[in-house]
Structure 1
Amino acid sequence: MQHLQAVMFDWAGTVVDFGSFAPTTIFVEAFKREYDFEISLEEARVPMGLGKWDHIKAVGELPEVAARWEARFGRPMQKEDIDKIYQTFMPLQVKKVGEHADLIPGAKAVIDNLREQGLKIGSCTGYPRVVLDALIPAAKANGYSPDCAVATDDLKAGGRPAPYMLLQNMLTLAVSDVKACVKVDDSVPGITEGLNAGMWTVALLLSGNEAGLTQAEFEVADEATLAAARVKAQDAFAHSGAHYQIDTIADLPAVIADIEQRLANGERP
């Protein structure tokens, strides 16, 4: 590569944890354990990509959830409620995140190839540091170890959709130009983060949060099923501003080659 310098990846639903099930299932469990309050997996998915405290807050603000909460407790969800759910969520997530560290098919080959082309591998996440520290060794055992990994609570400036985690990756990796970076993510806040950083952005349609397929479902699905899941994810990303939309990380090499050519032609994100 003559122009690109680095690719920055999200974690769950992007490189590991097909379908991004580690955080979503535990959000459901945390609401149930702390308040005996039911949220659906679909509701838990809506704010995916945010930091986890903000995610809980955003779930509580969904009109359907807010109405059920007020009917149940006679008041809106408050900061103290979010704190309690978060405190229940955190040890569950730390305990179980390593169980969701399998690499998404194609991830290792793609990332190894990027490195062979001289690109640095950055990463960031909506997970807090204590969770990321549990995920990193589990992912490493499966063959993935990025050159940099920034958690949502590492920086005082805050997490997504602000660009600071990506900019910290650039500082750590000594990358000199935002337009020489690509952000790959399965959530709208993660794409917005990349755009706010001035990077090229690639949205993943089928491996992550928006489609919500398990790897097994993906592997046995017929084309009609995949097409329906693709449309669902495309609708979610329709106004995200992502430069590219692909099914999974396995489809990334063609995008990287195209971006390199566009940079050579003088284009920028």
Structure 2
Amino acid sequence: MNTTPNLPAYRHQRFYQGPVRAVIFDWAGTLVDFGSFAPTQVLIDAFAGFGISVSMAEARVPMGLAKWDHIQQLGLQAGVAQRWQERYGKPMADADVDALYAAFLPLQIERVAQYSGLIPGTLTVLAQLRERGIRIGSCSGYPRVVMNPLLVHAASQGLTVEHAVATDDLQAGGRPGPWMALANVIELGIGDVRACVKVDDTVPGIAEGLAAGMWTVGLSLSGNETGLTFAELEALPLSEQAKRRDAAAAKLAHAGAHYVIDSIAGLPAIIAAIELRMAHGDQP
């Protein structure tokens, strides 16, 4: 007697040659918050509450990680570690990270909406993806208590996604591991990770997409690597914009991004390029 259950017939394809099925977006610096200031400025303020000065450049180095991990890595940077040692007479310990995180979190919840205006082109691009039947997922280094008010604020501006994973939603953890991206694959019912594209402005976010087996697209100007508001960027001479674009793009490409573009506004052309490559047998 055949006792094999009637399961869906998912047959592994050696080469995936279909269309893009889903795009998994980061949030700050990708969909909202041009320049990614909500996480960085609040971290600076949290450290200031402990008598430790942190520069914006220092705060940006661990961007993309879960915020507890971000604080820990920030405290391990040579300059910050030295200032902590001088003030407290000992290296920063996990208990100190806990205390900083406890101070950071209510500030982040209070201010996330303040910084999270839509990045130009976001609504247009998402509408174009939906017209093509491409599913919209997302994930973030924000914990759930920050993600929830961010989702409400984004919706008030017309931005909604089908699924959003916060960094503390999963027992396995967050970036640079693949778990948040893969949680989107499961929730959206995508049968092949090679049909997915991860879009992010940070090195850990690119690593996340690569670990999940996805195509990855880095954002050079709208996110953490350039770290300017839209107005500040527009005010720069074109030569300086190009210099900053090149530096950010080089870092994201070195991290393994398959493509690097300025912002989400350039994504539709990249989706078309990825689909053309897959049609010819290329894989992420």
Range class of TM-score, shorter chain = over 0.9
Alignment of 1:29-48 (within 5 A): 29-33=45-49, 35-48=50-63
**For 1:190-205, what aligned pairs fall within 5 Å after superposition?**
190-205=205-220
Residue number among 211, 221, 225 corresponding to 1:210 in the alignment: 225
How do 1:117-136 residues align onto structure 2 when only pairs under 5 Å count?
A: 117-136=132-151
More displaced, 137-146 or 234-243? 234-243
Q: Cα deviation per residue 1:211-230 (whole Å; 9 max; x = unaligned)?
A: 01111112233211211211
Task: Read off the aligned partner of 1:15 and give its amino acid letter.
Answer: L
Provide, for residues 170-218 of structure 1, a one-character-per-residue CA deviation record: whole Å limited to 9, x for no partner: 1110011000000000000000000000000000000000001111112
Structure 1 stretch displaced more, 59-68 or 155-164: 59-68
- Could you tell me how far apart the structure 2 residues matched to 1:219 and 1:112 are? 25
Matched with 1:18 is 34
1:179 counterpart = 2:194: yes
| Contact 2:219/2:249 (<8 A) preserved | no
Q: 1:233 aligns with which of 245, 248, 251?
A: 248
Q: AA paired with 1:177?
A: D
Q: What is the Cα-based RMSD across aligned positions, in Å? A: 1.1
Residue aligned with 2:198, SS: strand
What letter is aligned with 2:260? Q
Residue in structure 2 matched with residue 114 of structure 1 by the alignment: 129
Deviations 1:47-69 (A, max 9, x none): 00000000000000111111221
Q: Aligned AA for 1:30?
A: A
Residues 72-91 of structure 1: pairs in structure 2 closer than 5 A: 72-91=87-106
Does the 8 Å CA contact 2:65/2:141 hold for their aligned counterparts? Answer: yes
Larger deviation, residues 99-108 vs 87-96: 99-108
**Long gaps (5+) in structure 1:** none
Structure 1 equivalent of residue 21 of structure 2:
5
Q: Which runs of 5+ in 2 are unaligned?
A: 1-16
Tell whether the 8 Å contact from 2:253 to 2:260 is kept in structure 1 after alignment.
Answer: no
The answer as to whether partners of 1:49 and 1:190 remain within 8 angstroms in 2 is yes
**Tell me, what secondary structure is at the counterpart of 1:39?**
coil
Residue equivalent to 2:184: 169
> Do the aligned partners of residues 71 and 238 (structure 1) sit closer, same or farther apart at CA in structure 2, a change above 3 Å counting?
farther
CA deviation after TM superposition for structure 1 residue 238, in Å: 4.2
Contact between 1:101 and 1:142, CA under 8 Å: does it hold in 2? Answer: no
Q: Which amino acid aligns with 1:17?
A: D
Does the CA contact (< 8 Å) of 1:53 and 1:83 recur in 2? yes
Instruction: Name the SS for the 1:149 alignment partner.
Output: strand
CA distance, structure 2, for counterparts of residue 222 and residue 248 of structure 1: 18
Q: Deviation per CA, 1:11-33, whole angstroms, max 9, x where unpaired?
A: 00001000000010000000111
One-letter amino acid matched to 1:130: V
CA distance in 2, matches of 1:243, 1:232: 16
- The 1-side partners of 2:259 and 2:150 are apart by 27
Cα distance in 2 for partners of 1:97, 1:252 equals 25
Matched, 1:52 2:51: no
Give the deviation of 1:72 after TM superposition: 2.0
SS at match of 2:218: strand
Q: Percent same amino acid at aligned positions?
A: 55
Larger radius of gyration: 2
Q: TM-score, normalised by structure 1?
A: 0.97
- State how many pairs are aligned: 268
Structure 2 residue identity aligned to 1:186? D
The amino acid of 1:231's aligned partner reads: D
